[in-house]
Structure 1
Amino acid sequence: MKTATALFQAQPYTPQCEVMAREGAHAVIGVSSGNSYFSARRVTDLARWGAANFEQVDLIYTDLFVGEMFEALGYPPEDARRKAVKNLRGVRAKVTAAAKDADPSGSRVRAHALSALTTIAAYQNIHTKLITLLEGDPEFRATCDSLVDAFLSAKLLHGQAATRRQRDVCLKYLCAEAPLFLDTPAILNVPSSLNCYHQLLPMAELLYARGPGLRASRNQGHAVLTPAEGEPDER
């Protein structure tokens, strides 16, 4: 049986991200609602891995615009609401149980809904900046449009064009998540932070590019976190 430290393999996105991984000050582990990758066992293992490798860990699950997204994709309003409630109830239970399992004291591993961060001033400031950049920064807008296109192309029937409403909801969802890609240390008051997810984060190529433009803060990192060899892939 693998130790908690060896349950996953982290691939830091840049050399500076690797420094943050070695420092092990703080990690954000994102958990998407309705994604079969995040089984109860997987989320528990993620929490255990985080606790074994970092001083502090925040498990954060997305709970914003979930019902709106289902409705925009064609579910009747009441069905969209019920589907969102069911998905969020499930992910909340898994994340809460995993945090408690990894750290019963609750002092090192914490569970949050993304919505709980929206009252924090640093989050609000970053989010407001992103909304402004959607209209004023062609590079950021092009990146967001490309991500929305990729998401909707996987959800819509072949040849079906996305509606304005679908695109607007996707942009809102993306901008709600993005502050954690940019500056988790400011939002959660930690010295540095590694944002861990099983796929390359949206905007990573933009945020970690050289030169001017919208960039992640100097103490914000990202790593692609995948099950170690021999661990079952539950997707």
Structure 2
Amino acid sequence: MADGQPVDSADAFQAYASGPRSQEVWDQGEHAVIGVSAGNSYFTQDRLAGLLRWAARHFATIDVIYTDVHIDTMLVALGNDAGHAAKLAKSQIRDVRRRTRRAVERLGASAEKVRMQPMSSFFERAEYQAVRSRVGEAVDASERLATACKEMVHHFLDGREVPGERVPHVMGAGLEYLLAELPFFVDSPGILGVGSSAVCYHVSTPIVEYFKEPDHDVLSAAPNQGYLVVRPAAWSAGADA
């Protein structure tokens, strides 16, 4: 559970600010980032539509970033052959793109607030590359940050059976995906060109907990970077991580 009491419960969603700085970003209401993972059963079209309605009520602009990278790598690490993994990854990407697009369309006039972009579209952007370089150097230099990243991968794998011999492969693939995503936790305002920004997810994560600590050893989040836990009020936290 994130800090404090729920700061909002509109549209049957509850939001929690992860610390005072995140509360300030929430109060500013300038921009929200919503990441949508492929193959994650939490992100149904109805749930996405509700989440976007909630975000549109409380933020001036929204970036929805859906996963389209490293999916095949993870599927191979889990034991699929490369050909099957490639086909399954394409299917999952098509599905997450379709669900996300339809959820945005259901916003009506508020859809004007939303930009929908694939993760891969950022890889050649200078702002993203600069943060990604800092992230890679920091993970190599800090055991504490590397541990938080490993815990994050374990969090995403929670409940999934992974054969013992495949654990190193799965951890490596998971870290590869996480390093692509991590820049948005560090400086989404700089990458996306906004004054302040809140990353919204339905559970708190080890990475968010790392950035909440006051004494970061090698990597700090931007001062205008916030984090919110946002989920349906009736949802159980153990349901779909």
Q: TM-score, normalised by structure 1?
A: 0.88
Give yes or no for the alignment of 1:193 onto 2:197: yes
Aligned mates of 1:222, 1:136 — CA distance in 2: 24
Give the percent of matched residue pairs that are identical in Structure 1 and Structure 2: 33
Match of 2:3 in 1: none
Task: Measure the CA separation in 1 of the matches of 2:76 and 2:92.
Answer: 14
Equivalent residue, structure 2, for 1:172: 176
Structure 1 partner of 2:18: 13
Which 5+ residue runs of structure 2 have no aligned equivalent?
1-8
Q: Distance in 1 between matches of 2:43 and 2:35?
A: 10
Query: Structure 1 CA distance, aligned partners of 2:216 and 2:110?
Result: 43
Is 1:87–2:92 an aligned residue pair?
Answer: yes
Question: CA contact under 8 A between 1:33 and 1:87: conserved in structure 2?
Answer: yes
How many residues of Structure 1 are paired with residues of Structure 2 in the alignment? 230
Amino acid at match of 1:40: Q
Amino acid at match of 2:213: A
Q: For the Cα contact (< 8 Å) 1:199–1:225, is it kept in 2?
A: yes
1:144 offset after TM fit, Å? Answer: 1.9
Q: Secondary structure at 1:48's aligned position in 2?
A: helix
Offset of 1:100 from its aligned partner? Answer: 2.8
Give how far 1:230 is off: 8.8
Q: Judging changes above 3 Å, is the alpha-carbon distance between structure 1 residues 41 and 165 closer, same or farther for their aligned structure 2 residues?
A: same
Query: Which amino acid is 1:101 matched to?
Result: R
- Aligned-partner Cα distance in 1 for 2:108–2:184: 23
Counterpart in 2 of 1:212? 216
Structural mapping, 1:26-37, within 5 Å: 26-37=31-42
Distance in 2, Cα, partners of 1:10 & 1:40: 20
Q: Which residue of structure 1 aligns with residue 232 of structure 2?
A: 227
Counterpart Cα distance in 1 of 2:46 and 2:103: 8
1:125 match: 130
Tell me which amino acid in the other structure corresponds to 2:81.
P
Is there any run of 5+ residues in structure 1 with no aligned partner, and where?
none
Amino acid across the alignment from 1:59: V
- Residues 6 and 228 of structure 1 are in contact (CA less than 8 Å); yes or no, is this contact kept in structure 2? no
Cα deviation, residue 161, structure 1: 4.2
The answer as to whether partners of 1:59 and 1:99 remain within 8 angstroms in 2 is no
After TM superposition, give the deviation of residue 198 of structure 1 in Å: 0.6
Aligned-residue Cα RMSD (Å) equals: 2.4
* Cα pair 1:152 1:162 within 8 Å, conserved: no
**Do the aligned partners of 1:7 and 1:227 also contact (CA within 8 Å) in 2?**
yes
State the AA in 2 paired with 1:49. W
Counterparts in 2 of 1:153 and 1:48: CA distance versus 1, 3 Å: closer
Q: CA deviation at 1:105?
A: 7.5
Q: Deviations over 1:112-143 (max 9, x none)?
A: 11111222211111111222223222221222
**Alignment CA distance shift 1:227-1:150 (3 Å):** closer
The one-letter code matched in structure 1 to 2:181 is E
Q: Which letter maps to 1:219?
A: N
